[in-house]
Amino acid sequence: MTNQYVLDTPVVRAFVSTARDSIRAAPSPRDACAAIRPHFASLLADPDWLPDEYRAAAPESGMGGGIGQWLLFRAADGSLSLFSLVVPSGSETPVHDHLAWGLVGLYQGAQDEDIYAERNGGLELLESRSLQPGDFYELIPPQDDIHRVRTTSEETSVSIHLLTNDTGCVWRHTFDPESGRREPFRSGYVNVPCNET
Ligand SMILES: [Fe+2]
């Protein structure tokens, strides 16, 4: 597979190029995130780069609830992906993990997020926070890796994810927040298949 620019625009190419340079040069994920932060903030602040088709809900999605996960870019070796996650008003994701570090930020709408950690064989709710457009955070497993998001705005919410795996295609987990039981989970992308290897 080659690098896949599903949304092949100068803005996406410049952002991905900067992110990959930062990742190569940084001694740690935390340093890489710090280097990428200003560029990610600019991307979230720019209202024009993401076409409407990548802000659309997806009735048949792998996440359920009409939640659309749209791939924008992924690296040939599966080491990086950029995607939008579209959550209709009132919908929420299952509790899930990502299994990779990166940056996640809100681009449109409003969300509540619940963050969990695995403790003593179950799940513990660590934090609940509200996100507004432009808010973003670093996800460095196990820190902040398990969460659920819910759209609280009338408007569909759109978050932008830059994660260091092919998040839609790797097998990860959903969790029952009551029992902590985990199930294998692969969300897929609405717009591209996963390559079976
Ligand atoms: Fe997530």
24, part of any domain: yes
* Centroid of ligand 1 to alpha carbon of 148 (angstroms): 7
Domain presence at residue 117: yes
Which pLDDT tens digit goes with each residue over 110-153? 999 999 999 988 999 999 999 999 999 999 999 999 999 999 99
Distance 117 CA to ligand 1 centre (A): 14
- Alpha-carbon Rg for the chain, nearest whole angstrom, is 16
* DSSP-derived pairing of the beta strands 68-74 and 4-5: antiparallel
Q: What angle do CA 98, 120, 118 make, to 5 degrees?
A: 10
Distance 167 CA to ligand 1 centre (A): 9
For 16, the enclosing helix (H) or strand (E) is helix 10-25
Q: CATH number, domain at 95? A: 2.60.120.10
Distance 65 CA to ligand 1 centre (A): 14
Q: Which structural domain range is residue 137 located in?
A: 4-185
Residue 149 CA to residue 111 CA, distance in Å, equals: 6
Ligand 1 centre and the CA of 144: distance in Å?
9
Task: Tell me the pLDDT of the chain (197 aa) as tens digits.
Answer: 799 999 999 999 999 999 999 999 999 999 999 999 999 999 999 999 999 999 999 987 778 889 999 999 999 999 999 999 999 999 999 999 999 999 999 999 999 999 999 998 899 999 999 999 999 999 999 999 999 999 999 999 999 999 999 999 999 999 999 999 999 999 999 999 997 65
Question: How many Å lie between the centroid of ligand 1 and the Cα of residue 192?
Answer: 19
**pLDDT at 64 (0 to 100):** 81
Q: Within a 10 A sphere around the Cβ of 9, how many other Cβ atoms?
A: 13
Number of domains forming the structure of the chain: 1
Q: Is residue 67 part of a domain?
A: yes
